[in-house]
Amino acid sequence: MIAEIRPSAARGSVIAPPSKSAAHRLLICAALSGGVSTVRGIAPSQDMLATMDCLRALGARIDCDDEMAVVTGAHLPGTLSGAVLPCRESGSSLRFLIPLALLHDRHFTFTGSRRLFARPLSVYEGLCRAQGLLWQLGSDSLTVCGPLTTGTFTIPGDISSQFISGLLFVLPLLDSDSVIRLLPPVESRPYIDMTLQALSLFGVTAGFEDEVTIRIPGSQQYMPRDVAVEGDWSNAAFFDALNTLGGDVQLSGLQADSLQGDRVYPRYFAALRDGSPTLDLSDCPDLGPVCMALAAALHGAVFTGTQRLQLKESDRVAAMAEELAKFGVRACLGADTVTIPPSSLQVPTQPLLGHNDHRIVMALAVLSTRTGGVIRGAEAVAKSLPDFFPRLQHLGIEVETYGMDQ
Pick from 314, 319, 312: nearest CA to 338 = 319
Rounded to the nearest 5°, which phi and psi values hold at 235?
-80, -30
CB atoms within 10 A of CB 325: 14
Listing from the earlier edge strand, what are the strands of the sheet with 2-5? 352-353, 373-376, 2-5, 399-402
Pick from 195, 166, 191: nearest CA to 282 = 191
Listing from the earlier edge strand, what are the strands of the sheet with 107-111? 83-86, 107-111, 141-145, 134-137
Q: Long-range pairs for 49-52 at CB < 8 Å and ≥24 separation?
A: 49/88, 50/86, 50/87, 50/88, 50/89, 50/90, 50/93, 50/112, 51/23, 51/24, 51/27, 51/90, 51/92, 51/93, 51/96, 51/97, 52/27
Report whether 224 contacts 30 (CB < 8 A).
Answer: yes
To the query of whether residue 175 is one of the catalytic residues in this protein, the response is no
Report whether 68 contacts 38 (CB < 8 A).
Answer: yes
Residues 6+ apart with CB under 8 A from 337: 302, 303, 304, 306
Give me the amino acid identity at 166. G
DSSP string, 81-134: TTEEEE-TT-HHHHHHHHHHHTSSS-EEEEE--HHHHHS--HHHHHHHHHHT-E
Which residues make beta-bridge pairs with 228?
A: 40
Find the catalytic residue in 232, 240, 286, 357. Answer: 286
Beta strand pairing call for 141-145 and 248-252? unpaired
Report whether 307 contacts 334 (CB < 8 A).
Answer: no
Query: Which residues participate in catalysis according to the annotation?
Result: 286
